[in-house]
Amino acid sequence: MVGQASVQLSRKEREFLQHRGEIIHTAERVFSQKGYVSTTMEEIARQAEFAVGTLYKFFTNKADLHAEILRTKLNQMEQEGYEVIDTGKTPVEQIERYFNWRLEFFWENREFFRLLQESTGTVCDSRAGSSPDILHRYQRFLSRVEAIFDEGIRTHEFRPLGARILTLSLEGMLRAYLSHLERQSDPQRNEKEEKTLFEVFAQGGIR
């Protein structure tokens, strides 16, 4: 059905989607490099090789464009994350798969990680073009993880420390580690280090 729908698009519609995608891709890179406040629509247009007026045919303003990048990536994150979680047969396996996927997602989407940190991190710029539902969706995603911990506590796979405490501990560990990597000029993936990180969490949370 998806393929059939794509064939039915007119040339003008295909060009519209292509140009919109190019703008979003370029804007994500520029925002991640310069931050929301320092980025201008003129800079995005220049790097995307479009006239500034063209950008405003697709997006109302800079905040609208920034929020659309977050929404697009969050859609991808939610879909991939839920699919990964569902492949686990037990709560412990689900959490381990989720943990590994978060690391994979970081390495494949480092520019988005910077944008998400700017919009939802502890040091958050309120001007960062954040749509009201961005933080809500992020919290909803963590609620799914919390539900897994809750089930694992009931089945005695996790220590009875509280599902929220386990969720916040895992999330805090992940975000601290990824922020550490992001601060490096040329971070290199270390799978042994990643495995050790999960083992540290497992020693405190898994029975």
Is residue 192's pLDDT more than 60? yes
pLDDT at 182: 85
pLDDT of residue 123: 37
Span 150-176, average pLDDT: 96
Asked if 121 contacts 138 with a C-beta cutoff of 8 angstroms, the reply is: no
What is the tens place of the pLDDT at every residue in 114-135? 777 766 553 344 455 555 677 7
Q: How far apart are CA 174 and CA 65, in angstroms?
A: 28
DSSP 151-184: HHHHTTSB-SS-HHHHHHHHHHHHHHHHHHHHHS
What mean pLDDT, rounded, does the chain reach?
A: 87
pLDDT of residue 13: 87
- Per residue in 27-80, pLDDT (tens digit) is 999 998 888 889 999 999 999 999 999 999 999 999 899 888 888 888 888 899
pLDDT average, residue stretch 153-179 = 95
Does 175 score more than 50 pLDDT?
A: yes
Question: What's the pLDDT score for residue 131?
Answer: 56
pLDDT at 132: 60
Q: Does residue 5 have a pLDDT over 70?
A: no
Q: Taking the model in full, what pTM does it have?
A: 0.79
Q: Which of 12-26, 74-88, 130-144 has the lowest mean pLDDT?
A: 130-144
